[in-house]
Amino acid sequence: MLPSHQSADRALKRVILFTLIVAVITFPILIIQLLNIVVFGWPQSVLNKLGMRHGDESLIIISALFSSAVFLLLAAQAGRNLLR
């Protein structure tokens, strides 16, 4: 049987690997959705529910890109730690 720190390391590596897989799958989907918003704009009903007007879409796009960039940086750091 493995010592507890080795099994904890394996469990952590599995979590990191899962995070990397999720990041790789979701990032292109997010980019496609953001391009869809840029090209076609948000439906007015969605903007009304958010309390926004046309032209405010850029705030949503910038915040989504920033949060996805942070997520990818964290996933890359986790992947780098996984390879050590």
- How does pLDDT run along the chain (84 residues), one tens digit per residue? 456 667 777 877 887 778 778 877 887 887 777 777 777 766 667 667 767 666 666 777 777 777 777 877 877 787 777 776
Contact 61, 38 (CB under 8 A): yes
All residues at 6 or more sequence positions from 82 whose CB lies less than 8 Å from its CB, including other chains: 13, 16, 17, 20
